[in-house]
Structure 1
Amino acid sequence: MQLILREFELKLKHTFTISRKSIDVQPTLIVELKSEGFSGYGEATSNPYYNIGVPMMIQDLLKIKKQIEVVTNETPEEYWDKMYPFLKENLFALCALDIAYNDLYARKKGKKLYELWNYPIDKIPLTDFTIGIDTIEKMVLKMEEMPWPIYKIKLGTPDDIAIVKELRKHSNSVFRVDANCGWEVNETLNNAIELKKLGVEFIEQPLKADNWEGHATIFKNSVLPIIADESCILEEDVVKCHTYFHGVNIKLMKCGGITPGRRMIQQAKNLGLKTMVGCMTESTVGISAIAHLLPELDYVDMDGALLLAEDIATGVAIIDGKIIYSQTNGTGVQLKDSISFHA
């Protein structure tokens, strides 16, 4: 098995702003595993909030290149268990490797990932489209530029309710809001009352990740469901979020890949929590992996590639929120020939 690492700079269509940062370019790492004439692809992006950069991921993967490249017929679960001790301090790198191995394994079996897992795809959720923080006028223009059945609206400003009121004038679509840890307890409870009147479906991560006392208060008193994001990173966090949140948003990069992500989804379902998988600002490589989890999800946020000025790969397509799977096996990803990268 051969390990190939590619570094890209993903340019965004618009400056993307949440409560704690703004970006115009997103660095990302694509991992390719080649074996027996097949290639599998995985992705992880840099993330300052979690102190992860692409050079760090490359360094940590190259340190264990020999272990990675051992030819193996292990299942993805067995391979993840073998790689975890080497990469437990860099779960983003582990995620990219894990997705690439899942992709490769499924291609060798001649199946798409959802087929390998026996997931039916007749009933799958639509993805939302994210509207980043901006002036109200520009947020309206972004909605008009991308008519969509479900919008996820980034909040965390002094004018949050005014923003949603104005956006509601221009759309009858489902609204979800994500404060990215930008609110306080009373602010959340008061905002929830107003947001419910405006047809908002749920609120994602209103408080700082470690404010468990505040989460408990909101869980008991909010008129809208609350979904964990920054409070739910690892597998053990799912149980912790039970009775503090109504659902969990699982990010594959944060938990170490699609293999632990599937375990987290099942754990959440067992606890009666709503299940959601979210994306970073990433290419179709990472987005296509998320698509194969859809049959197990209540909600999904997999619009990362739609925010890009130019994608680096083909795979799943998204039209009006609906996911259309590629005819290619595995995750369905192929890198574009025309793209440039840093080796």
Structure 2
Amino acid sequence: MALKLTFQFYDLPLAHPFTISRYTVNVQKTVVVCISDGEISGYGEATVNPYYHSTVERLTESISKVKPIIENSEMIHPSDLWQIVAPHLQEDYFALCAIDEAYWDFYSRRHKRTLRSFWAAADENLPLTSYTIAIDSIEMMQQKIIEKPWPVYKIKLGTQNDLQIVELLRKTTDSVFRIDANCAWTADETIEYSKIFKQLNVEFIEQPLKANDFEGMKKVCEHSVLPIIADESCQREDDVNSCDGLFHGINIKLTKCGGITSALRMIENGRDKGLKIMAGCMTESTVGISALAQIAPLLDYIDADGALLLKQDIAKGVSFDFGKIRYSENFGIGVELYTEKSI
């Protein structure tokens, strides 16, 4: 039976304004791709994100461009389909991600398997997901922690009073902190902060410098007393090689690298280089988060809280119990849309 590709845009209202060092979001727009043979459907997601030039218009154009390729394809392995589609979407890996996730979901459902069963034998020793505390007044950041007790928090920084924020938040909870500066610091600041943060039960620092500050990152990697994890510096597969020697680990985002197929190769390459492996998310619905959670057995750290930040979700699938991943019992990524509209 021939495949059919459809897609639908959704507005995802957030429970609180989400602010990082670059911008603030109140409503997250996202696209959900469906690949179906009329009997079984698979789903994938990619968010609209101006920083990465991901817009409604661009996603629409990109997905529409490769729609005939998908619909004329035979039942092939997802990694083979990725190789066919990727050359047409070199400028839009967000669209490639949504398509790759949807096809992996379809493929694994067609084979009556969970997606993670292709690379993991059991759901054991899974990393705890962090819960993100976005930039806000210190009082509001403290209040968010009180409202959402969690074992690991990712604290977004990049303000004039970052040290004070962490010191005061530490008085609010004993949970582990992970710090994400989103490229806002200098090398010297990062090294100095690392000494203070280590005493405040901070586990690691994510992307403290601008992505192209290679000299600064080399200095930080050598002198920081906390592990440094690449995010903006590690977007696609080739970046893993560039991060070797500049970071202690990498944060893989499915939307940035083009989906699960590419992420699996990045994990293997990162392991070969002795890097710690993390995977993170955008502010996605449970569709994208359920896809991300499938690679959790391969990770050291995971930040899969995107759907937890929403006021209203569009699907059910993976869930989280005080940081612990709870998988759906369904095949594929295990997701079910609350309403399929025109998908």
TM-score (norm 2): 0.97
Query: How many angstroms apart in 1 are the aligned matches of 2:66 and 2:291?
Result: 24
Matches within 5 A, 1:101-250: 101-250=103-252
CA apart distance, 1:68: 1.5
CA apart distance, 1:335: 0.5
CA distances 1:118-149 after superposition (whole Å, capped 9, x unpaired): 44211110000000000000000000110000
Of 60-69 and 290-299, deviating more is 60-69
Query: How many angstroms apart in 2 are the aligned matches of 1:235 and 1:100?
Result: 20
Contact 1:45–1:54 (CA under 8 A) maintained in structure 2: no
Of 110-119 and 322-331, deviating more is 110-119
Contact 2:79–2:261 (CA under 8 A) maintained in structure 1: yes
Query: How many angstroms apart in 2 are the aligned matches of 1:43 and 1:240?
Result: 28
1:270 aligns with 2:272: yes
CA distances 1:262-294 after superposition (whole Å, capped 9, x unpaired): 110111011100000000000000000111101
- Matched with 1:302 is 304
CA distances 1:181-214 after superposition (whole Å, capped 9, x unpaired): 0001111111111111111010000000000000
- Matched with 1:317 is 319
| Structure 1 residue runs of 4 or more that deviate by more than 4 Å after TM superposition | none
Query: How many angstroms apart in 2 are the aligned matches of 1:118 and 1:129?
Result: 25
Query: How many angstroms apart in 2 are the aligned matches of 1:32 and 1:235?
Result: 25
- Matched with 2:23 is 21
Contact 1:182–1:206 (CA under 8 A) maintained in structure 2: yes
Determine which of 32, 40, 49 is the counterpart of 2:51: 49
Change (3 A) 1:36 1:5: closer
Query: How many angstroms apart in 1 are the aligned matches of 2:13 and 2:248?
Result: 34
SS of equivalent to 1:292: helix
Contact 1:16–1:22 (CA under 8 A) maintained in structure 2: yes
Query: How many angstroms apart in 1 are the aligned matches of 2:73 and 2:242?
Result: 38
Determine which of 278, 284, 287 is the counterpart of 1:285: 287
Query: How many angstroms apart in 1 are the aligned matches of 2:246 and 2:134?
Result: 26
Where structure 1 has 5 or more consecutive residues not aligned to the other structure, the ranges are none
Contact 2:120–2:297 (CA under 8 A) maintained in structure 1: no
TM-score (norm 1): 0.97
CA apart distance, 1:71: 4.2
Query: How many angstroms apart in 1 are the aligned matches of 2:198 and 2:316?
Result: 38
Read off the aligned partner of 1:128 and give its amino acid letter: S
SS of equivalent to 1:293: helix
SS of equivalent to 1:103: helix
What's the C-alpha RMSD, in Å, of the aligned pairs? 1.2
Percent of aligned pairs with the same amino acid: 51
Query: How many angstroms apart in 2 are the aligned matches of 1:212 and 1:71?
Result: 42
Contact 2:155–2:177 (CA under 8 A) maintained in structure 1: yes
Contact 1:8–1:340 (CA under 8 A) maintained in structure 2: no
1:62 aligns with 2:72: no
The alignment covers a number of residue pairs equal to 341
